[in-house]
A and B are shown apart, each in its own frame.
Chain A
């Protein structure tokens, strides 16, 4: 999004009379990106759909909390990320007393998911990413797939650039080790 467009949207959402109009532009501009960010974390389309809608509704109700020093894009990503983490936390709590591993379950679902279209190596990559701890998975996805700058990720996850670089390095090492295993 160009700087002028973002400024226009900020002007619209800061005015109670035009907030809905501004929000409509936001929804149309960022839904796709946010959806895939969420989907990469949650894997299942239905879950991603629920969390995407929740993200937008939360963003709308909390619009007055938006600090104009950060970009709307990173603010929305932060809400979506927190919603993903909360969702995963809730799901995992359901299996806290069982030996079932939620991420392993997701990896299995991926194999038969009609909304997944990838070759064997791409499937193995997705499974390797699911083996990573949640935060490392977030860093990997944002850097590798969304091609975000470390500074942007730092703003979203509120983690230092140095820590993010280390996290990404560890993530790629683990992933490459996994995809080379039989």
Chain B
């Protein structure tokens, strides 16, 4: 029966030649060259958490905004549906002021839009007014 006492106690691990001289020099050089990061400041420690908090805040604001837009659209639909009979040419014209050139083009050509309704243009006077309005406010617009 062998015991630990029967085994010669020696360090069996070897290292490459000049390893300790080299590694000591390497470590000392790193420390002296200030490559080693200093103790982080409280701001550096908190930085990732601040970024996370900002991201959560932005997401929350965005989410709230989306809910608001969705609610507004819903409200508009409800108003349209309930006041369809009362929606007039003047209302339609006043809606135009919310759009820039590109938006206006999309607005007028969107068949599914609840507001733009060419049937509301019932007479030449209205058409002339609309033409004037568009020419004055939207330079690139040509009424079809």
Contact = CB atoms under 8 A, between A and B. Distances in A.
Interface in B1-53: 1-4, 6-16, 19-20, 23-24, 26-28, 30-32, 36-39
Interface in A126-160: 126, 144-145
B9 A145 contact: yes
Interface residues of B, number: 29
B3 A176 contact: yes
B38 A61 contact: yes
Interface in B117-141: none
A104 B12 CA distance: 19
Contact of A116 (B6, B14, B23, B38): B14
Given A32-B20, A60-B36, A144-B4, A45 B15 contact: yes
The prevalent SS among residues of B at the interface is loop
A145 B11 contact: yes
B14 A117 contact: yes
A61 B4 contact: no
A22 to B, nearest CB: 11
Contacts of B23: 31, 35, 49, 52-53
Which of under 10, 10 to 19, 20 to 34, or 35 or more describes the interface residues of A? 35 or more
B12 A117 contact: yes
A123 B12 CA distance: 9
A17 to B, nearest CB: 14
A8 interface: no
A117 B11 CA distance: 8
A12 to B, nearest CB: 13
Interface in A16-64: 20, 23-24, 27-28, 31-32, 35-36, 39-40, 45, 49, 52-53, 56-57, 60-62, 64
Nearest 5 pairs of A and B residues by beta carbon: A118-B12, A115-B14, A56-B27, A39-B13, A24-B28
Interface of B: 1-4, 6-16, 19-20, 23-24, 26-28, 30-32, 36-39
Interface of A: 20, 23-24, 27-28, 31-32, 35-36, 39-40, 45, 49, 52-53, 56-57, 60-62, 64, 114-118, 121-123, 125-126, 144-145, 172, 175-176, 179-180
